[in-house]
Amino acid sequence: MNFDLTEDQAAIRDAARDFAESEIAPSATERDLNAEFPSEIVKRLGELGFMGMMVPPEWGGAGLDTVCYVLAIEEISKKDASVGVIMSVNNSLVCYGIEKFGSDHLKEKYLKPLASGKLLGAFCLSEPEAGSDATQQRTEAVLDGDHYVLNGMKNWITNGVNADIYLIQAMTDKSKGYKGISTFILEKNTEGVEVGKKEDKLGIRSSDTCTLGLNNVKVPKENLVGSEGLGFKIAMETLNGGRIGVAAQALGIAQASLEAAVKYSKERKAFDAPISELQAIQFKLSEMAVLTEAARMLIYQAALKKDRREKFIKEASMAKLAASQAAVHCALEAIQIHGGYGYVREYLVERYLRDAKITQIYEGTSEIQRIVVARELLRD
């Protein structure tokens, strides 16, 4: 497998890096402290083509490959993982779902503005009683003439407060189990949609997360994505790509932690020498570098397979599992290397740890990724 970047891929990486350094990094600490959504940054990301990176230009996107996408998410998440997840949800979960399964009418009406950053999307699968066991959807959608009526509750919705559009799963036929789940596009300003309070989170604090109540919400019949009963397949296929995006987000945190640790260890002196000369520190740096690089290779592998239209379920889960472990490990070790300074806000590594933890939870916990990998191994 050739991991050399093409000129275009390197150019996208550099553009994302420049944007992250000049426009994301300066306000990241303050936004984290105030749990402030980066509205202006998201708008600029849209103008630059980062909100619909893999969507073909005829549907408003940048028409780039998944490798470009992971390179951009890594660079952006290195400076602020909150921005990384906002971008990842819009690209991988919302745009992809509509592009792959939606009608031309839905693409014209919703995908174009979502991919060009004029609208923001959120993905609604989890419920208070359906998390890892996502097949157990309680939200119902009942056909009534020319519209469906939705009732239920969704939670842990990334972008939920600021999104304009929700890609939402609901049960249209309970008797069929997960084969009775369907996907809809729901506009936020529809009567009966109740956006719950913003969660006060440990990390990724400048992204928003909320519950969504649905009380007799009318969704036009044509907003059904694909056909009735296709919802779980749409959710799972969409999440496969989403897991590559979260893996790239985690990689950005791991890489930022490693770079911070290397820099600090060369500057900080103890026992009359930089601490980088101590073997205890060198072992830590080596382990961090190995985990980060291994995660990067798994991510590129998953992205390349997706771009070649090969099956990539196992590779996406392996990438997410490894990258999220690398992120948590590297952030923890970066704090350890910084000592007391690592424990205060002045140095960024404490944020890296808080941001890293969620990558082991959302879009399928590490335990779910292990289940997915094992099932794929045993199936082969």
Query: What is the contact surface with ligand CAA in residues (CB under 6 A)?
Result: 89, 123, 125-126, 132, 134-135, 157-158, 178, 232, 236-237, 239-240, 313, 362-364, 368, 371-372
Q: Give the count of beta carbons closer than 10 Å to the beta carbon of residue 33.
A: 12
Contacts 24+ apart (CB under 8 A), 17-25: 17/75, 19/44, 19/45, 19/48, 19/50, 19/76, 20/75, 20/76, 20/78, 20/79, 20/80, 20/83, 21/79, 24/76, 24/79, 24/80, 24/83, 25/79, 25/80
Smallest CA-to-CA distance from 91 within 249, 221, 308, 309 is with 249
* Shorter beta-carbon distance to ligand CAA: residue 119 or 334: 119
User: Cα–Cα–Cα angle for 162, 163, 166, nearest 5°?
Assistant: 150
Reply yes or no on whether 363 is catalytic: yes
Q: Which is nearer to ligand CAA, 28 or 313 (CB)?
A: 313
Q: At residue 166, what is the residue type?
A: Y
> Among residues 156 and 264, whose Cβ is nearest to ligand CAA?
156
Q: CB 364 → ligand CAA: shortest distance, Å?
A: 3
- H-state helical runs in the chain: 7-19, 25-34, 39-47, 66-79, 81-88, 96-101, 104-106, 112-115, 231-267, 279-307, 313-338, 349-357, 366-379
Residue 177 amino acid letter: G
CB of 267 to ligand CAA, least distance (A): 36
Residue 27 or 365: the one with the smaller Cβ distance to ligand CAA is 365
How many helices (H) and strands (E) in the chain?
A: 13, 10
Q: Distance between CA atoms of 80 and 256, rounded to whole angstroms?
A: 10
Cα(212)–Cα(194) distance, rounded to whole angstroms?
A: 6
Q: How far is the CB of 178 from ligand CAA (least distance, A)?
A: 5
Q: How far is the CB of 171 from ligand CAA (least distance, A)?
A: 14
Q: Which is nearer to ligand CAA, 223 or 240 (CB)?
A: 240
Which letter, b or e, does each residue of 37-66 get, where b requires 16 or more Cβ atoms within 10 Å of its Cβ? bbeebbebbbebbbbbbbbeeebbbbebbb
Choosing from 127, 237, 363, 376, the catalytic residue is 363
Q: How far is the CB of 234 from ligand CAA (least distance, A)?
A: 10
Taking the C-alpha atoms of residue 76 and residue 218, their distance in angstroms, rounded to an integer, is 37
Tokens 């660079």, residue?
75
Question: Nearest approach, Cβ of 225 to ligand CAA (angstroms)?
Answer: 16
Q: Catalytic amino acids?
A: 363
